[in-house]
Amino acid sequence: MSECSRQRSNLKGDGYKAEWRLLNASDYGVSQLRPRVVIVAIRNYLSEQFSWPQSHGCNPLTVGELLEKKMSVIKFKPTISVVT
């Protein structure tokens, strides 16, 4: 039995429902392409009240787009051009 399976079994025995998802911050409007494993363990009697967040379904701004105005204020000159 894997460690993950063992932990889920322990949580279930203690009255918890445990689920995991692989989420990407960019699906929720954050300018990062960093997938993360999110584990939620919630008491069985509360489990129907929890729902996973839905993706925004839109592309977030790039870091360059977010920082463009601030960087222009300090007269920052980029050394690399990025073509999108």
Residue 70: which H helix or E strand, with range? Answer: helix 63-73
Closest CA to 29 of 57, 69, 52: 57
Report whether pLDDT(42) > 70.
yes
- Looking at the chain, the whole-number percentage of residues with pLDDT higher than 90 is 31
Q: pTM value?
A: 0.61
- Domain hosting 22: range is 3-73
Q: Which residues contact 83 (CB under 8 A, 6 or more apart)?
A: none
Cβ count near 8 (within 10 Å): 19
Domain count, the chain: 1
Average pLDDT in the chain: 83
pLDDT score of 62: 80
Higher pLDDT, 73 or 23: 23
Residue 81 within any structural domain of the chain: no
Mean pLDDT of 60-76: 74
Q: What are 74's two structure tokens?
A: 């300090």
Residue 78 within any structural domain of the chain: no
- Looking at the chain, the whole-number percentage of residues with pLDDT higher than 70 is 85
